[in-house]
Structure formats: structure tokens, C-alpha cells
Amino acid sequence: MSVSFSVIISVFNKEKYIKATIESVLKQSFKDFELIVVNDGSTDNSLDIIEGFKDERLKIISTKNQGASQCRNTGIKAAGNAFIALLDGDDLWDADYLKKVHDCIISFPNESVFATAVAHKYEDKIVAATYNFKQEKTYAVRNFFESSLDHTIITSSSVVFKNEILKKTGYFDPSIVSGQDTDLWIRIGLNYKVVFINEILAYYNYVPESLSNTVFSVKNKPKYDKYFELEKSNKSLKRYLDRNRFPLAILSKLEKNTERFKFYSSHINPKNLRPEQRIILFAPRWIVRLLLKLKSLNGEKLYYPVT
């Protein structure tokens, strides 16, 4: 079985990080790949840095700013290989990332989606992601929803999938401003198992100004209402969605958006939350703000405003 990858990096104003990100790809021990970097209308020095690389495997596409979803879709549609490997413009791969994913694909030729464990890279420390399951073996075929209750097993820098699956799942949804990753992962989870490699091979770089570290208004977040019917008969999907509705309910509370808070909280089955989440969900706003402030002082990554 021959395996080759199309690595897709979407970039918008990543001049501080894109050099290291691209280097982590070009230094891969596995060499059979093309690298497609889509510059999404960057207004900083990102494009100049990208163009400074001279490697025949590198293809650069520049577009007007169209958002992360369309940017990734553009790269995927330009891909010439059977397997798509996504990487964000400020994250990093271990030098053996593609090799170990390749070996996993060879071991599971009938599977279509592959993912590795990740770690969060801060300025002064690296923290391994904590998953809601224990996996002794290096490889395991997992249900996405059941395995993503604490930390998702699929991220936009640690997933590889057969290009052809998008015919069934569809691409990233450009209409979703924030949360488009989760929307696609749900569609993947409804159709495919995930082969999870229990080894940290991708590093999520904590960048304060990164879009993924920015608090978007809850109005721009997905409502997950299109899954109402499916979740009635799919318990693992329901539990996963409730775990994702919880932070959106909290964000609604912090923004004093009563309508959205009622919407999210009314569709959560409390039994699907951890005990502490059930308490926080209906705690007064000032208590939630205090807890977040304490987490912030401890250096933890937040998705909510603390002011």
C-alpha cells in the first residue's frame, strides 16, 4: 500500500510563528508529501516568510481574506494526494509525525481517519492533553464522540484523513465563524471511526493573539440545533454535544445573553455533565467569573473573558 500526504497549512497573520511551523513539516523523516500553504490575505510579513522557503514540495496559494474554513477548503481542493494532513499556521509537528501516521495507516488499511495525541505548548511549559479514556496500546480504533468528552481526539493540527471522505461528510462550513472545526469533526464522527495514536506528535502552540484563543461572541458560535433529531437516537452524540453546549452556556452567561443561555442550558441533560459542571452551569455569574480569574492566574488557557 502506497501512502502519500498533502499537508495543508492555512495562514492569516502568523509572521511570528509560520517559519517554525513550516520547518517542522519540511524536516519530517517521512518525505513523500506535498505542502500546500494557503495565505488567507495576511496583512503582515507572513507571505514573505513563506516565499523564503525553497523546496519543490511547497506550493503557495494566496487568496483574499476568506476565513479559516474556506481557506482550508481551498487547500484541500488543491491537494494531489490521497491523504490530507491539516496543520494550523502556529502549531508544530514532531519530526516523526508523518512517519508514525504512515505506519498506522499501513496497519489499518481499511480505516479512513487517523489522529495523534497532542500537547499544549505555553511559553514556559508543555502540558499534555488529558483525555477521558485510558489507552495502553499505541493504536486503537475509537468512537469519536465517546473519546472526546474532555479533550477532542481530533484537532486541526493532529488529524489525517482520506481525501475521499469529504464526499460523504462535506467540507468545512464557511458560514460558521467560530467552531467550524467541531462541526466537521461531528460529521466525521457520524460516519467514521478514528484510529487514535496514543503518542504526542503534535503541539498546539498557545498564542495569545491567535484566533482560536480569542473569545468570540456567543452569537457566532454554532447552536448544534441541526443535530436535534440525530441525538435522540445516538446517546454518545448527545453526551458529546451536551459537553460542548456547556461552555457555550457559560459564555452566554458571561455575556449576559439570557436568550442564548436558556437555549443552550435547556438542551443539556445534566446527567451528561461532570458534577462540577452541573454546579457551575447554574451558579451566579460572579462565581463563574471568580473561578475563571483564578484559572487565569494559574496560567491556564481560557476561552472566556475574565474582566
**Percent of the chain that is helix, strand, coil (3-state, to 5):** 40, 20, 40
How many domains does one find in the chain? 2
Q: What is the pTM of this model?
A: 0.91
Strands 33-40 and 5-11: parallel
Please check whether residues 208 and 244 belong to one and the same domain.
no
Please check whether residues 172 and 220 belong to one and the same domain.
no
Structural domain includes residue 307: no
Is residue 256 classed as helix, strand or coil in its secondary structure? coil
Please check whether residues 170 and 262 belong to one and the same domain.
no
Determine the structural domain holding residue 150 and report its residue range: 5-212
Q: Domain end: 165, 180, 212, which one?
A: 212
Could you read off the pLDDT tens digit of each residue along the chain, which spans 307 residues? 889 999 999 999 999 999 999 999 999 999 999 999 999 999 999 999 999 999 999 999 999 999 999 999 999 999 999 999 999 999 999 999 999 999 999 999 999 999 999 999 988 889 999 999 999 999 999 999 999 999 999 999 999 999 999 999 999 999 888 888 999 999 999 999 999 999 999 999 986 655 444 556 888 888 999 999 999 999 999 999 999 999 999 999 999 999 999 999 999 999 999 999 999 999 999 999 888 877 665 555 545 554 5
N residues, the chain: 307
- Read off φ and ψ for residue 142, nearest 5 degrees: -125, 150
Position 187 scores a pLDDT of: 98
Please check whether residues 280 and 150 belong to one and the same domain.
no
CB 91 within 8 A of CB 205: yes
CB 215 within 8 A of CB 305: yes
At 49, which amino acid appears? I
Structural domain includes residue 273: yes
Structural domain includes residue 170: yes
Is residue 79 classed as helix, strand or coil in its secondary structure? coil
Q: Who's near 290: CB < 8 A, 6+ residues apart?
A: none
Please check whether residues 103 and 187 belong to one and the same domain.
yes
Structural domain includes residue 304: no
Please check whether residues 83 and 229 belong to one and the same domain.
no
Position 305 scores a pLDDT of: 53
Please check whether residues 201 and 219 belong to one and the same domain.
no
Position 265 scores a pLDDT of: 97
